[in-house]
Each structure stands twice: as structure tokens, then as C-alpha cells.
Structure 1
Amino acid sequence: MVGSIAPWNFPLHLLTRSIGAALAAGNTVVCKAATLTPITSQLLGEVFTQAGVPAGVYNIVSGPGGVVGEELLASDKVSMVALTGSEAVGRRLMAASSEAKHIKPLSLELGGKSPIIVEPDCDMNGALNSVILGFCMNQGEVCVSTSRLLLADEIYDEFMAKLTDRVRRIRIGDCLNEDTQMGSLISPEHLDTVHGFVERAVAAGGKLRCGGAPLTQAPYEKGSYYPPTILENITPDMELFQEEVFGPVLAVTRYQTLDEAIELANATRFALGAAIFTENIRKMYWAAEKVDAGTVWMNCATKSNIETPFGGNRNSGLGREDGVEGLLEYLKVKNHIWYMGAQYDNFFDFEDD
């Protein structure tokens, strides 16, 4: 049996990404949904029941991670655990696994602080739209959000002027309205967390380019709305450069050379995704090789395909989801060795008297 601990930001997609491969590999699963999104896993259970999946193949447990997650690690009935969540929770699972009666393998897709490098020879329109998508998609509540913009000095002023203008025109509102481009954050508590990052960045010397304060007036009074926020003058020693915000906040850092940009890209403990924008194909592939990340997007951002492996390096996780590599995470390798007749070991070469 595989234990699957799902996050709240894409509660169906990221749950099925895990359990789909586990079921395809012949396992049963027990799912623990995030505390903030418990209904999705229940509805998926109804879908499985209607599809005729036998009882016991897909199982659901609810409750806080500190209780249910620990039990998944402790139970002898669970052979491995897959988590999509934060670095802190991943560390707790690793510690719990090491202390369990039977050490369990883990598949961990954790946090990120993905850089997006924009070179002077980029397609500017495409780069602008991808930068906006990279930190505003799903209100920035995305593990692979390209929330660090590394921008070449040569085009800095022009690019930032156009970026700010486009970001200010993003339509914020009810996500059920088809005209909305960005909705509410998950909760008031998370809004406070996001805003705290912004306030501390400004206090540390960051320059606020746009956004930077919760939206509380009508029509935003019934949600946790935070506008797309851009901060300049962000340096590697700042919290905003290093830590995952999980909100629509972009940290901008200027660079002189591509070598400097790659050094900045690799200057965090995370290595989930990274993006590079240039029209020079040789430069693009050279940079992609130098950046430490589980996925490198070239002239695009935050893309994924179920056919290809997804996961992070360093503190962004262990293992891979999707693709053949993702399927192999849920299989065990077992070696059977069979000798026949005269092929038995005869190292000692004894014979009966």
C-alpha cells in the first residue's frame, strides 16, 4: 500500500499524479488530503466507486498532518509514502521514516524558488508574458512558480517598464468569473504570510515596483486577495531571494553577464525548476546544462507533461513523478536467481564417497 499526502494548491491534479502511477504499478493507496481541501479526495472516491473500482483499492483518511501523516509512516501496512508539500514537512517525513520499525522509501516533491533568466536577445513579448504567467498563475500558489526574475542589465529598464504596465492590468476577482485572470489566495492566514514577506523585503532594502498591499475594498472584501507584486533590488542575502513565498510576488535581480545569472540562479538551496529566455540556441542549451534544476524551461515557463519526469534536486525533493521514472518510484526491484542441475555452485568440488 502507498500512502499519498496531497497538497491544497492543486488538490486533484497533484493527487491523481501520485495515485495514478501507484495504482498502475499494482499498489493500493491511502490518501490524506490537505486540511484546507478535504472534499476533493472524497469526490474522487465517489468517482472510483462509480467506475467499479473494488473497495480497498483507493482509501481516504482525513485529519491533521501531524497525526495522520505520522501514522502513515508508522504503519506496517504502508510500504512507501509520497508527499507533495513543503520542505519542512518533507524533512519531518524523512525523520519519521528513519525512526519507523521498517524504513520506508519516500517520494518527495517539495518547495521551490525557481529563477527565470531573461537575456538581452530574448523575444521580449514572449518573455514578458512568461514572466507574468510564472509568478501569477494560480495566484502564485505553485511550487514551480518562477518567482525570481534574473534580468539582463542591457534591457532592464525597457523590460521592467513593460512588465509593470502589463501586471497592473491583470484582472483580479472571483475565479468563477470567466473574465478573471487571478483569484483569491487560499486563506486569510496565508495572505498575512505573503504580505509579511513583502513587508520584510521592503524593510531589507527592496524597492516596491507595484502591488504590495492586500485588496480589502469592494469587490474584494469577501476573499483573500493580493495583487501581483514586484520588488526590485533583491540580493541573494535577502529572505525574498531565498525563501518560497507561495504567492504572486516577484523578486527581481539585475545581472551583467550570463555567467553571473547562472551563479545567481543556483544561489538557493532549492532546485525544482528554472527558465532561460534567449534566441541563441547554443546559449540556451549551455545555460540549461549549467543551471541546477529538475526541470529547465527554454523560452517558456512552468510547463509540465505527464509523459516526462518531474521533480526537484537538492532541497526541492527526492524522486520523480510522471513519465516512466515516476512509475518506477512505485515498484520494487527484486532479483530471483535459479541454478539448474550441473550449474549448481561447485566451488568446493566435493563428491560423495
Structure 2
Amino acid sequence: MQQRDDRIHDYQVYIGGQWGGAASGETFDSLDPYTAKVWARIPRCGAADVDRAVTAARAALDSGPWATMHPTQRGLLLRRLAELIARDADRLALSEVRDNGKLWAEMRGQCGYIPQWFHYFGGLADKIEGAVLPIDKPDMFTYTRHEPVGVVAAITPWNSPLLLLTWKMAPALAAGCTMVIKPSEFTSASTLDLMRLVEEAGFPPGVVNVVTGFGPEAGAALTAHPGVDKIAFTGGEGSGRAIAKTAADTFKRLTLELGGKSAQVIFEDAVLDNAVRGVVSGIFAASGQTCIAGSRVIVHESLHDAFVEKFVALARTARMGDPLDPATQVGPVTTPPQYRRILDCIAMARQGGATCAMGGEPAKRPECGDGWFIEPTVFTGVTNDMAIAQTEVFGPVLSVISFRDEDEAWRLANDTPYGLAAGVWTQDQRRMFTAAKKLRAGMIWTNCYRTVSYMSPFGGFKSSGMGRESGQEAIRDYLETKAVWMDYGAEQANPFVLR
């Protein structure tokens, strides 16, 4: 078992290849969600720091080694970074657990898997190909080329800081962009630890920069900065909407990965024990603090009671406690504001008429220490028009809704403002393919849930955002396409007529 220490770790930001504090000299505390104690101090950056970071990123993009580096060389740097992350995965995972309270088993697994994104996009870096167009004009040679979109502002959330940063960083760097990263104020430490490896890997100064601090100060200055060409954001719908409005002023490109209220649809022919385990994974893993949480179970009325009985019985066995203990299965909520919000949503569900079949209160078990724990919670008697069925809780709270026939199942599953993910549990192959067509979500899992890969695009429909991360599609969002025309004819055509 990994051990936490009582020291308070002092961090610095990384701008233009240099380590230092915020221009103001101010810092803020980062709390360990299990102990509720300060474990790190982080620089509190503001507009001056953001301007310095964007200036460094722009200089690296326009001149210097990165600007002239061959794509194959960029790929080699990405693969070198992958090897360093694999080497230091334990240390990075420990920072993640201290900062966000998620399980050691999950964070160590993520940190061990993150190198695959850098290997994958490192290999893709020199395979960004244009095309020769069989153009319909005589004596004309026309082709396309792809160029980096420019300086990318990457804004990451607190639930999986390094993984969700990697989904932005690997394709952006493979495309030749430079970056300014602003992690959540609740979980900045692991991103700063990663920058030590970026430096060791040999990335030129200014290619990757980090500013830390609060949204109204550092975040707002970054999204509004005229030197930023693209914003890649993962977070809540409200923040995403505000960022989109700011980006519109200067027509910044956007990738937004926002919230979800994902359905897990259980049909009457499902293998019920597998569905129960899949739903547990979808809502109680990571304490429900994931955008793809399967927070709505839409179960056939013939299975409703059996499902609830089996689900509650399994969920009650979940071990809560220290996230560094490999035996722990449910850890704390990451932040005090989120802890209070989840409890407010639970109260809202009760007031709306839902029945609490399990949990519904703070966890006061001795093994939970002084952290922010909430008992895994299940509500039955939920209808899809209730607030608890429409609101993203981002916590360990499940709503169970029954349906009569297939058409009703698809209608209920799609009846939210979101469209990030969906799960389907059935043995009927026709229904599997029908689900892929009928469900309005960016990712459809059948007889599985909460599975991701560097090879597969990740992103949603509707209020769940725009653009895709991971897979070959991700790199397109970090490129601009240029059409090049070359006239090799003997003489010019009529200059007053569009050719």
C-alpha cells in the first residue's frame, strides 16, 4: 500500500521552459479529500502569468526548434515522454490520489495506460497527409496540406486530471501545436509533476506551459487571450457555454467535452448479473465522479424488482475508505463544493417523490476518516421528468426507471439534454444494432460499460459538447486545412470571370 506523508509540498508553474511562482507571489492550498488536510501549495496565477505563457507558446510555434521540427522528430519526443510516464507511473498516480481522492487502483491503472496515447499519436505525427485533388479545371495542380491550428489552451477538470489532459496534449503536440494548460484549482499537482517529464523528454521551451489558479482569474484570462487559437475544455456544461461565448469573440476553435446523464438500458433478455455489475461500474466506480456515469438505469418492468434487489445487495458490499488502500472500492468525493451539491441533489430527489432504496446520506464509517464520503445511493420510483433524472449529479447516485417496450426505452434514454454515452444490456443482436442507430449519444456500449481506448473517439451529442478526443479523429481538431492551387497553363484566363 502506498503511503501519504504529512509534508506540505510546494509547487511551481512551468512557463517558457522555466519553473517559478505566480507573478503575484500568491499561492493556494490543495486539500487531500481523504484527510481533508492541506497537502500541497500551488501558485495562484493571474492575467500576467497567462500572457507570459501564451507569449512563450506563440514564440515556440512561430520560431525556434519546434517550428522547424520534422513530424517524425515530434513523434519521437512523444514516444520518449510515453516511456518516462511509464517509468514514473507510481509517482504520478500517488499525486492524483492525494489531489482528487480517487482510488489508487484506478489512478495507477490510468497512469499506466496514459503512455499508449503518446505512443499512438507519436506514431500518427508523421502520417498527417494531404491529398492531390482531381480538380475539374484545366492546367491546374491542386492539393491540400494540414497545418497546426496554433496555440491551444487546454483546460482540464479535477476528476481524472492526467488522463483528460493526455487526450488533449497527445494529439495537439502530434499536430505541431503548442499549449498552455490550465488544470483545475482542485487538482493541479499531478499536471505540474508531468511537466518535469516533459522537460526531461526534451521538448523545446514554450511548447508546453502550465498556469495554475482559479477560473475567474487564470481561466478567464486564458480563454479570452487573443493569442490563443483553440480551446480544448473538459468540464461542466455551464462553464463550457461561457467558454464558447468567449471563444466566439475571436472565432477560436473549440473542443468541448461536457456533462452527461447517461442511460443504461436493461432489456428483459439481459444477463442480469452482468448488467448489475456493469451498472455498479457505471455509477459507483470513481464515486460517480465521471462524465460518462451511467446514472439512469432504464430497466424493463419485468426485471425491475429483481434488478433492484440484486443491485442493492451487491452495492452494499462495496468497501469504502482510504483510496490508497488497494482493497477500497469507493473513495471520497473530491471537493467540498461537490460534496454539498451531491447532498442537495439527493434532497431534491426525495422532494420530487423518488424512493431512496439505499444510501442517501453522508458516509460516517470509521474507515472514511475525515474525508468527504457519501454512501452509494439508489432511487427507485423515478420518472424521467423528475429533476433527479435530468440533472447531472456527478456523484454516486443512481435513478431507476422502468419501461414497457423497446420504443419507450429508446425514447426515455434519449430524453435528456445530454448525449455523451449509453449502455445496452441484451442478447438480441438485432436490438444491439438498433441501439447503435436509435441512441443519440457519442458512445454506445453493449453488454459492457465505461471502457475507453486511445484508438476510439470519445465525445458527445447535444449539451455533452462538440468535437472528439482520442482516435484518429482527434488530431483533425488540432489541424487547419489549406488548399493549394498551381496553374501551369501557358496563359492566364479571363481575369473578370470566376474560373
TM-score normalised by L of structure 1: 0.96
> Structure 1: how far apart are the matches of 2:324 and 2:369?
16
Q: Which of the residues 352, 362, 375 maps onto 1:214?
A: 362
2:452 is aligned to 304
> Structure 2: how far apart are the matches of 1:148 and 1:19?
32
Letter matched to residue 56 of structure 1: G
2:180 is aligned to 30
> Structure 1: how far apart are the matches of 2:300 and 2:436?
17
| Contact kept in structure 2, 1:276 and 1:288, CA below 8 Å | no
Q: Which of the residues 244, 249, 257 maps onto 2:392?
A: 244
Q: Quote how far apart the aligned CAs of 1:344 are.
A: 3.3
Q: Quote how far apart the aligned CAs of 1:347 are.
A: 6.5
1:109 is aligned to 257
> Structure 2: how far apart are the matches of 1:343 and 1:43?
61
| Contact kept in structure 1, 2:262 and 2:294, CA below 8 Å | yes
> Structure 1: how far apart are the matches of 2:491 and 2:453?
48
Letter matched to residue 345 of structure 1: A
- Which stretches in structure 2 are left out of the alignment for 5+ residues? 1-150
Letter matched to residue 166 of structure 1: L
1:329 is aligned to 477
Cα deviation, 1:179-202, whole Å, max 9, x if unaligned, reads 101111102321111011011101
Letter matched to residue 343 of structure 2: H
> Structure 1: how far apart are the matches of 2:491 and 2:375?
73
Letter matched to residue 335 of structure 2: S
Residue aligned with 2:164, SS: helix
2:412 is aligned to 264
- Which stretches in structure 1 are left out of the alignment for 5+ residues? none
Going from structure 1 to structure 2, the CA distance change for 1:324 and 1:344 (only over 3 Å counts) comes to farther
Letter matched to residue 352 of structure 2: A
| Contact kept in structure 1, 2:321 and 2:369, CA below 8 Å | no
Is residue 194 from structure 1 mapped to residue 354 from structure 2 by the alignment? no
Residue aligned with 2:402, SS: strand
> Structure 1: how far apart are the matches of 2:402 and 2:429?
22
> Structure 2: how far apart are the matches of 1:151 and 1:184?
28
What's the C-alpha RMSD, in Å, of the aligned pairs?
1.3
2:223 is aligned to 73
> Structure 1: how far apart are the matches of 2:356 and 2:436?
30
Q: Quote how far apart the aligned CAs of 1:343 are.
A: 6.1
- Structure (1/2) with the larger helix percentage: 2
Letter matched to residue 310 of structure 1: F
Letter matched to residue 483 of structure 2: N
| Contact kept in structure 2, 1:25 and 1:327, CA below 8 Å | yes
Is residue 17 from structure 1 mapped to residue 167 from structure 2 by the alignment? yes
Letter matched to residue 205 of structure 2: A
| Contact kept in structure 1, 2:459 and 2:466, CA below 8 Å | yes
> Structure 2: how far apart are the matches of 1:192 and 1:347?
68
| Contact kept in structure 1, 2:321 and 2:331, CA below 8 Å | yes
Residue aligned with 1:186, SS: coil
Residue correspondence of structure 1 range 80-119 to structure 2 within 5 A: 80-99=230-249, 102-119=250-267
> Structure 1: how far apart are the matches of 2:224 and 2:310?
53
Cα deviation, 1:130-182, whole Å, max 9, x if unaligned, reads 00000011110000000000011111111111111000111111110011011
Residue aligned with 1:332, SS: strand
1:45 is aligned to 195
Residue correspondence of structure 1 range 153-164 to structure 2 within 5 A: 153-164=301-312
Q: Quote how far apart the aligned CAs of 1:121 are.
A: 0.3
Letter matched to residue 333 of structure 2: L
Q: Quote how far apart the aligned CAs of 1:41 are.
A: 1.4
Cα deviation, 1:215-234, whole Å, max 9, x if unaligned, reads 13423241111111000111
Residue correspondence of structure 1 range 156-195 to structure 2 within 5 A: 156-195=304-343
2:35 is aligned to none
| Contact kept in structure 1, 2:419 and 2:460, CA below 8 Å | yes
| Contact kept in structure 2, 1:115 and 1:150, CA below 8 Å | yes
1:232 is aligned to 380
Residue correspondence of structure 1 range 136-151 to structure 2 within 5 A: 136-151=284-299
> Structure 1: how far apart are the matches of 2:413 and 2:287?
23
Q: Quote how far apart the aligned CAs of 1:15 are.
A: 0.6
Question: When the two structures are aligned, how many residues end up with a matched partner?
Answer: 347
Going from structure 1 to structure 2, the CA distance change for 1:338 and 1:297 (only over 3 Å counts) comes to same
Cα deviation, 1:304-325, whole Å, max 9, x if unaligned, reads 1111111010000010001111
| Contact kept in structure 2, 1:215 and 1:221, CA below 8 Å | no
Letter matched to residue 138 of structure 1: A
Identity of aligned pairs, percent? 36
| Contact kept in structure 2, 1:273 and 1:293, CA below 8 Å | yes
TM-score normalised by L of structure 2: 0.68
Q: Quote how far apart the aligned CAs of 1:68 are.
A: 2.0
1:59 is aligned to 209
Q: Quote how far apart the aligned CAs of 1:345 are.
A: 2.6
Is residue 282 from structure 1 mapped to residue 469 from structure 2 by the alignment? no
Q: Quote how far apart the aligned CAs of 1:348 are.
A: 6.1
Cα deviation, 1:73-97, whole Å, max 9, x if unaligned, reads 3222211010000100110011111
Residue aligned with 2:305, SS: helix
Residue aligned with 1:306, SS: coil
2:464 is aligned to 316
Q: Which runs of 4+ in 1 moved over 3 A?
A: 346-349
Going from structure 1 to structure 2, the CA distance change for 1:181 and 1:217 (only over 3 Å counts) comes to closer
> Structure 2: how far apart are the matches of 1:52 and 1:348?
53
Q: Quote how far apart the aligned CAs of 1:64 are.
A: 1.1
Residue aligned with 1:287, SS: helix
| Contact kept in structure 2, 1:209 and 1:230, CA below 8 Å | yes
| Contact kept in structure 1, 2:152 and 2:229, CA below 8 Å | yes
Letter matched to residue 31 of structure 1: I
Q: Quote how far apart the aligned CAs of 1:103 are.
A: 1.3
> Structure 2: how far apart are the matches of 1:67 and 1:337?
45
